[in-house]
Structures are given as C-alpha cells and as structure tokens.
Amino acid sequence: MVNLTPLDIQQQRFKTRFRGFDIQEVDLFLDQMADAFESLLKQNENLKEDFRRLQLEIQGYKNREDAFKRALLNSQRVIEQMKENAQKSAELIVAEAEVKAEKILNKAHNRLAQLHEDIAELKRQRMQIEVQISSVIEAHGKLLEISKEGMKAMDDEDSKIKLLQQNKA
C-alpha cells in the first residue's frame, strides 16, 4: 500500500496527450480528492485518538475492577476472620461458662456433703442425748424406787410403832 498524502494528490500531474482529459477538470477532481483524503486522514487520526483514549479508559476501568476485586477478596477475608474470631470468642465464653458451672456444681456437692456430715453429727448427738436422758430417767426411776422402798420401810416402821403404841395403851 502506498502512503499518499493530500499534498501528493494535489501535486500529482498527468501527462497530456492529444485528446486527453480536460486539465482543469482533472485538477479540480484532484483538489476534491485531496480535500476528501485530508478529511479522511483527519477523521482517521481522530478515531485513532479516540481509540487510544478509550483504551486508556478501559485500562482504568480494568484497574478499578482489579482494585474492587482485591477489596472484595480482602473484605471476604476480613469477614471470614471476624467469623472465626467470633466463633473462637463464643467457644471461649462457653468454656468459661462450663468452668464456672463446674465450680458451682462442685461447691454445691461440697455443701451437700457438708450438710450430710452435719446431719449425721446431729443424729449422733441426738442419740447421745437420748442415751443420757434415758440414763437420767433410769437413775431417777431407781431413786424413786429406792425412795418408795424407803417410804415403805418407814411406813412399816410407823405401823409397827403404832401397833406397839396401841398394844401399850
């Protein structure tokens, strides 16, 4: 392909021959062709410039798209990390609650065992007191028995004395 410029077209001269073309008509046509060619070259240059500008814009959009993709991936990573942290935090809270519950349960078991020991001690003390009261009652019963025997003996003595006094009188 030959690179023609509008100036090449305007300066193009043809040989004239007998009965050739009308020179003015050819020159006018060449001028029109040069103008049309120049217009096409300018339009082509404008299109090339528009094409370069659009390519730059596309590249900018691609760069932004890549940046958005990276930001989205980073956001997803952050969200996943936050989920993991929340899960770990929840697990830690549950573990702490289980430890506290275990401590409370142990305290309750210890308290229950202490109460059972206290109840057993109180039963033992009650039995001792019952034995002591029973011993005291038994001792008092014996004393009462002895006292009754003593009274009977005194009554017998009194009866004997009365008989003796009646017999003397």
Q: What is the pLDDT of residues 111-122, one digit of tens each?
A: 999 999 999 999
For residue 19, the one-letter residue type is R
Tokens encoding 147: 């006292």
End-to-end CA distance of the chain: 189
Rounded distance, CA 168 to CA 160, Å?
12
Q: Are 76 and 44 in contact (CB under 8 A)?
A: no
pLDDT band at 169 (very low <50, low <70, confident <90, very high): low
Q: What is the pLDDT of residues 96-152, one digit of tens each?
A: 999 999 999 999 999 999 999 999 999 999 999 999 999 999 999 988 888 888 888
Rounded distance, CA 101 to CA 94, Å?
10
Question: Taking 90 as the threshold, does the pLDDT of residue 16 lie above it?
Answer: no
Residue 20 has φ and ψ, to the nearest 5°, of: -85, -165
Count of alpha carbons within 13 angstroms of residue 86, beta-carbon side = 6
Q: Which residue in the block uniquely carries the two structure tokens 């073309």? A: 21
Question: Taking 90 as the threshold, does the pLDDT of residue 21 lie above it?
Answer: no
Q: Which residue in the block uniquely carries the two structure tokens 């046509």? A: 29
Mean pLDDT (the chain, rounded): 89
